[in-house]
């Protein structure tokens, strides 16, 4: 796909998920860039606290309760990854060969309907910026028309088995609602920490990197979500240009991000540009009617 995005300037190591330029300099991956602004999940601490509660109710030891809980988490994570890889690899295989894997008939039919609207589609596109030292691969770029500067839409496949797509940090389970009110780390602590916002940031960085390469204008950004029965859902996300640019600049400048937000931080004066950006972008993800995609469990 040399015409739009040259694919021979960055070497990608799939096994370690690393990107290198021709001088063997490693670039920061998009996923690692986003991870740097997420509050780390305290796996050991949270599982220990839950295990103490389980042990008090069931009579098992805390160590056994924690071991079983961690094993359950690992099983769910592995199952989710396996399903996601099956959808991702199956659609890529179909796009190259025309062969449809079992269980993917509906996703393929859905994608065929999307492709009819475009001049050309490109799976697994490597995007990068030599200026910001950032690189990543988006699942699908859709070129609307053949022109000197093409308008392109960017899509990523998602199939989060346990959570679906979450539009906020509220937990809803078995009729109970818990308000966690989680946010990303500063200076992105005006964005609520949920996977919808995370995916929007991811797609926005891909689009920003495409602009850095040139030759394109940005059209739509969208998540193509496949639920637990492989049913497709098309979910639009906004192009968060300012946030994507700021993350890339932070990578270039090697700024150190706070590890965790402090309780009741002292009031401080924001610089005018950042203050205006925060004012305009406050909760930019939230649609008029927030909902959480779920599927039927047998």
Q: Are residues 28 and 47 located together in one domain of the fold?
A: no
Count of structural domains, the chain: 2
- What contacts 88, CB < 8 A, 6 or more positions away? 139, 157, 159
Q: Are 243 and 204 in contact (CB under 8 A)?
A: yes
Q: Are residues 263 and 224 located together in one domain of the fold?
A: yes
The kind and range of the H/E element at 33 are helix 30-35
Mean per-residue pLDDT, 217-236: 94
1 located within any domain: no
Of 293, 286, 281, 289, nearest to 159 (Cα)? 293
For residue 76, the enclosing domain spans 41-100
294 located within any domain: no
R_g of the chain computed on alpha carbons: 21
Of 118, 296, 133, nearest to 222 (Cα)? 118
297 located within any domain: no
pLDDT digits (tens, 9 = 90+) for 82-106: 888 888 899 989 988 989 999 899 9
* Count of positions (residues) in the chain: 298
108 located within any domain: yes
Q: Are residues 88 and 159 located together in one domain of the fold?
A: no
Residue 74: what pLDDT?
Answer: 82
Q: Are residues 25 and 48 located together in one domain of the fold?
A: no
Tell me which of 135 and 260 has the higher pLDDT: 135
Q: Are residues 240 and 164 located together in one domain of the fold?
A: yes
Q: Are residues 53 and 157 located together in one domain of the fold?
A: no
Q: Are residues 206 and 90 located together in one domain of the fold?
A: no
Residue 152: what pLDDT?
Answer: 96
Task: Tell me the whole-structure pTM to 2 decimals.
Answer: 0.78
Q: Are residues 152 and 225 located together in one domain of the fold?
A: yes
Q: State whether residue 242 is helix, strand or coil.
A: helix
Q: Are residues 35 and 175 located together in one domain of the fold?
A: yes
Q: Are residues 56 and 186 located together in one domain of the fold?
A: no
Where among 59, 74, 100 does a domain terminate?
100
293 located within any domain: no
Give dist(CA 86, CA 272) in Å, integer.
Answer: 47
128 located within any domain: yes
Is the model's pLDDT at 10 over the cut of 50? yes
288 located within any domain: no
Q: Are residues 16 and 62 located together in one domain of the fold?
A: no
Buried residues in 93-127 as b, exposed as e (16+ CB within 10 A): ebbeeeeeeeebeebbebbeebeeeeebbbbbbbb
Question: For 1, which DSSP code?
Answer: -
Residue 1: what pLDDT?
Answer: 47
Q: Are residues 129 and 232 located together in one domain of the fold?
A: yes
Q: Is the peptide bond before 187 cis (omega within 30 degrees of 0)?
A: yes
pLDDT digits (tens, 9 = 90+) for 154-199: 999 998 777 789 999 998 877 788 888 999 999 999 999 999 999 9
5 located within any domain: no
pLDDT digits (tens, 9 = 90+) for 237-250: 999 999 999 999 99
The kind and range of the H/E element at 108 are helix 105-115
């Amino acid at each position: 796909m040399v015409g739009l995005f040259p694919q021979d300037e960055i070497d990608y190591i799939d096994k370690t998920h690393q990107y290198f330029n021709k001088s063997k300099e490693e670039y920061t991956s998009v996923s690692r860039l986003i991870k740097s602004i997420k509050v780390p999940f305290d796996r050991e601490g949270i599982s220990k606290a839950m295990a103490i509660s389980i042990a008090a109710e069931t009579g098992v030891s805390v160590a056994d309760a924690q071991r079983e809980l961690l094993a359950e988490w690992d099983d769910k994570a592995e199952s989710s990854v396996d399903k996601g890889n099956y959808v991702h690899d199956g659609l890529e295989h179909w796009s190259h060969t025309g062969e449809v894997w079992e269980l993917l008939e509906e996703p393929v039919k859905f994608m065929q309907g999307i492709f009819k609207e475009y001049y050309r589609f490109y799976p697994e596109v490597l995007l990068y910026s030599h200026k910001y030292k950032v690189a990543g691969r988006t699942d699908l770029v859709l070129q609307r028309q053949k022109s000197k500067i093409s308008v392109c839409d960017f899509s990523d496949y998602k199939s989060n088995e346990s959570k679906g797509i979450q539009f906020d940090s509220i937990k809803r389970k078995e009729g109970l609602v818990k308000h966690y009110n989680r946010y990303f780390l500063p200076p992105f602590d005006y964005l609520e920490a949920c996977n919808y916002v995370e995916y929007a940031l991811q797609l926005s960085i891909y689009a920003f990197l495409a602009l850095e390469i040139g030759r394109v204008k940005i059209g739509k950004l969208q998540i193509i979500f496949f639920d637990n029965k492989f049913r497709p859902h098309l979910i639009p996300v906004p192009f968060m240009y300012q946030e994507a640019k700021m993350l890339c600049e932070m990578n270039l400048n090697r700024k150190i991000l706070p590890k965790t937000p402090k309780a009741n931080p002292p009031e401080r004066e924001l610089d005018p540009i950042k203050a205006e950006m925060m004012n305009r972008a406050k909760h930019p993800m939230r649609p008029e009617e927030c909902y959480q995609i779920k599927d039927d469990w047998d």
